[in-house]
Chains A and B, each alone.
Chain A
Amino acid sequence: MVERTPVFDAICQAILFLGLLIALVPFAIVIIAATHDIRTVNTVPMPLVPGHDLYANLAEAWQRADLGRKLFNSVLFATAVACGKVILSAMAAFSIVYFRFPGRSALFWAIFVTLMLPLEVRIVPTYAVAANALAPFQAILNVTGITWLVQTVSGIEVKLEWGLLNSYPGLILPLVATATGTFLYRQFYLTIPDELAEAAKMDGSGPVRFFVDMLLPLSRPNMIALFTIMFVWAWNQYLWPLLVTTDPNFGIAVTELRSLIPSEFGLPDWNVAMAGTLIIMVPPLIVVILMQRWFVRGLISTEK
């Protein structure tokens, strides 16, 4: 700044350094513990010099938590959620900002309200819906009498059923159904000059062409930011995957952390637990470090 304040600067540096330590020490402990053998990891205090068993511990954790399969599922799941959000939100926001039709603002609020109630809060009924994703439509048909009508006319009983438990759509779809991305895109579209749309219309472009050729390329930075945030967010989901995937073939890495908690009997093998933690926490960390610039900007403009 403009003046010299050596004492205050030194205090700041000391506190910042302390903050840095607080942020880094847990990472360091996890890494160091993952390199020890089971006896060393349980000595008090734990030696802070890394041991030589990192590879063996990683292999053991990999095998115990079935991480090959689980990491594959995690990548698939997080990518799908992020892509779904990026695409569907862009479309929904386009409709809300660039079209005039009756009930448009009601639609905006209908989408916007979903920001208020996160999945965790309405977990029980959402689980019931996932057991049969078409149940809402079935109920509507029953109430409006269409089921009865079809049955009396054609003799066929209308029974809509689409179970989502233990399936990829069941993992992914409920997490796409929130408004975070729609809101981000809406804010961005509002900053795009009107002249752009006017010029496009003058040149005879319809809404679809305008969306694909102008809006999407312009919103590339927002898309990258949203993708990063949603990837990390989806990767770190825990409660929903825990409930929906009882079949190990569809489990994801983060819920596998449960199987890594050392048993209470015998010497706890924290070295393996920490090795597994290390494997599971590294992918989103890498994404954040690589995309930090985008990530920070996106997080700020969404104002979730």
Chain B
Amino acid sequence: MEKRATFSSTTIGLLFVAPMLVLIFVFFYWPSGQALYWAFTLEQPWGGGNQWVGFQNFQQLLADPVYWNSVIRSLVFALSSTVIAMGLALVLALFTDRELRFHRAYRSVLVWPYAIAAPALGLAFRFILAPEAGLLSVINHLSPGLWNPALDGTDAMIAIVIAFSWKYIGYNFIFFLSALASIPRSLTEAAAMDGAGPARRILDIQLPLLTPTLFFLLVINITESFQDSFGIVDIMTQGGPARATELMVYKIYFDGFKGLDYSGAAAQSIILMLLVIMLTVVQFRFIERRVHYK
């Protein structure tokens, strides 16, 4: 889309965009370039500048089972939390959209979790899911040792998935609800006249029309699970027990700032960047194809 009426002063135009440009140059483009530089070089132990090592950092990384562990854990985390958060949000949004009694209450309360900071809900869930106190400790009371996220890797993974999904149910709910609101009432009403019950209408009309939103949220949820999970992991498990919840961003933080291995952390950043860019590109291609469909 282009504007017909525009202003011609290049100077003023550039002045308006300049502050933003300076900021993104300093805090986005420069660091991204720096990450590339670090990923292909190795810092000398006694100073004296970086040495070009080509793909050595990446080779080392890809040969490292600990790194693959974090990749696999991240994928498990991303997929399971996305499925839970999107599935529950979709069902809740579909039912709220039917405007039964109390739908206003549902509509406002179900959004609340999204307002909570990831580390805050991390601490809350650390208590709720703690093995010795809180809510789930009841399980251990009945059968000792069944639930212990501090010792059992699977339990710890389940705990961070629950915490993360809880927050993103609220987020997905907003998007689903607004997408549902944009489906013309006449469509569902016509289907009802033809004798389709509510369940049939959901399956044959609302769900197909929601596919762009579904796909959009799928990508957003996966990318957010890479970034927003840091606070939850850091508060709830610190990557443990035995690296069972060491997700990719947490490992970058740990290697870069605790292990001071800038080159390794930069190489990991580059791989994560490529992953996120890939997801975004896929999303844009898909949305583009959907636009003329409307």
Sample of 17 A–B contacts (CB below 8 Å): A1-B188, A3-B198, A15-B92, A19-B106, A19-B110, A23-B112, A97-B3, A122-B269, A122-B273, A124-B269, A176-B23, A236-B116, A239-B249, A281-B116, A289-B108, A300-B178, A303-B216
A49-57, A107-115, A144-152 - interface stretch: A107-115
- Quick one: given A88-B23, A190-B1, are A1 and B115 in contact (CB under 8 Å)? no
Main secondary structure of the interface of A (DSSP, over half): helix
Q: Which of B1-37 contact A (CB under 8 A)?
A: 1, 3-10, 12-14, 16-17, 19-21, 23-32, 34-35
Q: Are B117 and A101 in contact (CB under 8 A)?
A: no
Q: Is there a chain B Cβ closer than 8 Å to A265's Cβ?
A: no
Contacts of A123 in B (CB 8 A): 249, 252-253, 256, 269
Q: Are A239 and B253 in contact (CB under 8 A)?
A: yes
Bound complex: CA A19 to CA B105 (Å): 12
Q: Is there a chain A Cβ closer than 8 Å to B113's Cβ?
A: yes
Q: Is there a chain B Cβ closer than 8 Å to A153's Cβ?
A: no
- Quick one: given A1-B198, A91-B19, A303-B216, are A116 and B276 in contact (CB under 8 Å)? yes
Q: Are A26 and B175 in contact (CB under 8 A)?
A: no
B153 to chain A, nearest CB (A): 18
Q: Are B198 and A5 in contact (CB under 8 A)?
A: yes
Q: Is there a chain B Cβ closer than 8 Å to A207's Cβ?
A: yes
B229 to chain A, nearest CB (A): 9
Q: Are A121 and B249 in contact (CB under 8 A)?
A: yes
Main secondary structure of the interface of B (DSSP, over half): helix
Q: Are B20 and A92 in contact (CB under 8 A)?
A: yes
Contacts of B28 in A (CB 8 A): 114, 117, 122, 177-178
Contacts of A129 in B (CB 8 A): 26-27, 30-31, 34
Most buried by B among A26, A92, A96, A206: A26
Most buried by B among A20, A122, A255: A122
- Quick one: given A15-B92, A292-B108, are A114 and B24 in contact (CB under 8 Å)? yes
Q: Is there a chain A Cβ closer than 8 Å to B192's Cβ?
A: yes
Q: Is there a chain B Cβ closer than 8 Å to A159's Cβ?
A: no
| Other-chain residue from A23, A114, A176, A201 in contact with B113 (beta carbon distance below 8 A) | A23
Q: Looking across the interface, which residue of chain A has its beta carbon closest to that of B189? A: A2
Q: Looking across the interface, which residue of chain A has its beta carbon closest to that of B140? A: A44
Q: Which of A145-179 contact B (CB under 8 A)?
A: 173-174, 176-179
Contacts of B99 in A (CB 8 A): 1
- Quick one: given A257-B120, A296-B174, are A125 and B269 in contact (CB under 8 Å)? yes
Known: A19-B106, A88-B20, A280-B120. 16 other contacts (CB 8 A): A8-B198, A23-B170, A97-B3, A102-B10, A107-B17, A121-B227, A122-B273, A123-B269, A124-B262, A178-B24, A195-B5, A198-B5, A201-B5, A261-B235, A281-B124, A289-B108
Q: Is there a chain A Cβ closer than 8 Å to B123's Cβ?
A: yes
Q: Which of A207-240 contact B (CB under 8 A)?
A: 207-208, 210-211, 232, 235-236, 238-239
Q: Are A20 and B106 in contact (CB under 8 A)?
A: yes
Q: Is there a chain A Cβ closer than 8 Å to B91's Cβ?
A: yes
Q: Is there a chain A Cβ closer than 8 Å to B164's Cβ?
A: no
Contacts of B223 in A (CB 8 A): 118
What residues make up the interface of B, taking CB atoms closer than 8 Å to A?
A: 1, 3-10, 12-14, 16-17, 19-21, 23-32, 34-35, 38, 88, 91-92, 95-96, 98-102, 105-106, 108-128, 130, 132-135, 137-138, 140-141, 166, 169-170, 174-175, 178, 188-189, 192-193, 197-199, 216, 220, 223, 226-228, 230-231, 234-235, 249, 252-253, 256-257, 262, 265-266, 269, 272-273, 276-277, 280
- Quick one: given A15-B95, A88-B20, are A26 and B35 in contact (CB under 8 Å)? no
Bound complex: CA A58 to CA B1 (Å): 54
Q: Is there a chain B Cβ closer than 8 Å to A67's Cβ?
A: no
Q: Is there a chain B Cβ closer than 8 Å to A62's Cβ?
A: no
Q: Are A121 and B24 in contact (CB under 8 A)?
A: no
Instruction: Give me the 7 closest cross-chain CB pairs, A-B, nearest first.
Output: A99-B13, A125-B31, A236-B117, A95-B17, A197-B5, A95-B16, A125-B34
- Quick one: given A20-B109, A177-B27, are A100 and B189 in contact (CB under 8 Å)? no
| Other-chain residue from B27, B114, B115, B123 in contact with A173 (beta carbon distance below 8 A) | B27
Q: Is there a chain B Cβ closer than 8 Å to A79's Cβ?
A: no
Q: Looking across the interface, which residue of chain B has its beta carbon closest to that of A42? A: B133
Contacts of B262 in A (CB 8 A): 124, 128
- Quick one: given A29-B124, A177-B28, A235-B117, are A3 and B5 in contact (CB under 8 Å)? no
Q: Are A13 and B20 in contact (CB under 8 A)?
A: no
- Quick one: given A2-B189, A194-B5, are A110 and B13 in contact (CB under 8 Å)? no
